[in-house]
Amino acid sequence: MFTIDLTDKVAVVTGGANGIGKAIVDALRHSHAKVAVVDLHPSGRNTERDLFYIQADVSNKENVEKMMEQVINRFGKVDILVNNAGISTMDYLVDIKEEDWDKTMDVNAKGVQLCSQVIAQQMKKQGTSGKMIHIASQAGKNGYRLMGSYVASKHAVIGLTKVMALELAQDQINVNAVCPGIIETSMKHRERVLGGKLRGLDEEAIRQEDASQVPLGRTGTPEDVAYVVMFLASPFSDYMTGQALNITGGMTMN
Ligand SMILES: NC(=O)c1ccc[n+]([C@@H]2O[C@H](COP(=O)([O-])OP(=O)(O)OC[C@H]3O[C@@H](n4cnc5c(N)ncnc54)[C@H](O)[C@@H]3O)[C@@H](O)[C@H]2O)c1
């Protein structure tokens, strides 16, 4: 009775080739969904019937429109969108480079808007209910040193979540965000190296500092995030919309 079964559902996962996105793709497939993996660098080949890799940049409108066409040609519809693609840059606010700011906002905020827009149009056309899940961050609720562009972009994602939830509620499209804390992926590795350089610390010192900040005593895994996303993709969350759920081991409670 409490199994998540997504047989006949079609999901689109952006940034699904690595890290959190890949764990979400694996979990969706485990629940029998058909999955389109949209990534700048898709890591797989299109040899399986229910798994479709699409190369696209989520911050590029033409790419996103073409991606939508490819998904429809392949699977005929979309039921679930997971806006996961994201990047981070690090610098002190006084030193942020314009191109870093623009790139971060383009991928993390505009990318969510572009993908959600084409998929909301498609879901409305289908006349079916749908689920949209944005991978925001606890940086969408708090400030963090060295993360000015990223923090701004993730606050934007949570704002968009609320507006989309209101505007799409009449179509029975639920729009929610998740806010991961410190999750062990290649993005986190890059942040430790870069943050370490800026702060004069080595990566290991930052890793220990990270773990010490988490009430549950450990940093997170991509699967920790994927399981909550699965709940939001399933009928068990039908009465939830416009929420931003923390997955932080207790690090963020607001
Ligand atoms: N790792 C963490 O600690 C953490 C914490 C909070 C939120 N997040 C968010 O989770 C999401 C996934 O992060 P991750 O840690 O798995 O990162 P990651 O770098 O390991 O993976 C990101 C994936 O997104 C793809 N991607 C990047 N830019 C893209 C673009 N323009 N178009 C299409 N695909 C693109 C990359 O190729 C990669 O496959 C991001 O939105 C990130 O901000 C991560």
Residues 2-21: tens digit of each pLDDT: 799 999 999 999 999 999 99
Which ligand 1 atom is at minimum distance from the Cα of 187?
19
How far does the centroid of ligand 1 lie from the alpha carbon of residue 212, in Å?
Answer: 24
- CB 18 less than 6 A from any atom of ligand 1: yes
How far does the centroid of ligand 1 lie from the alpha carbon of residue 1, in Å?
Answer: 33
Each residue's pLDDT tens digit, 32-45? 999 999 999 998 88
User: Rounded to whole angstroms, how far apart are CA atoms 129 and 70?
Assistant: 21
- The distance in angstroms from the start CA to the end CA of the chain is 32
Find the mean pLDDT for residues 112-140: 98
**Residue labelled with tokens 């314009």:** 98
How far does the centroid of ligand 1 lie from the alpha carbon of residue 128, in Å?
Answer: 29
- CB 17 less than 6 A from any atom of ligand 1: yes
Which ligand 1 atom is at minimum distance from the Cα of 180?
6
- CB 57 less than 6 A from any atom of ligand 1: yes
User: Rounded to whole angstroms, how far apart are CA atoms 106 and 99?
Assistant: 10
Q: Can you give the pLDDT at residue 22?
A: 98
Find the mean pLDDT for residues 105-112: 98
Each residue's pLDDT tens digit, 212-234? 999 999 999 999 999 999 999 99
Q: Which three-class secondary structure string do you get for 163-187?
A: HHHHHHHHHCEEEEEEEECCECCHH
Give 246's pLDDT tier (boundaries 50, 70, 90).
very high
Structure tokens at 114: 């572009």
61, 191, 193, 244 from 130: Cα distances, Å:
22, 34, 39, 17
CA-based nearest residue to 19, from 174, 234, 187, 213:
187
- In the sheet that 10-14 helps form, which strands lie side by side, from edge to edge? 51-55, 34-39, 10-14, 80-83, 130-135, 173-180, 244-247
Find the mean pLDDT for residues 61-76: 98
Active site residues: 150
With beta carbons less than 8 A apart as the criterion, state whether 80 and 33 touch: yes
How far does the centroid of ligand 1 lie from the alpha carbon of residue 86, in Å?
Answer: 4
Which ligand 1 atom is at minimum distance from the Cα of 18?
39
With beta carbons less than 8 A apart as the criterion, state whether 175 and 182 touch: no
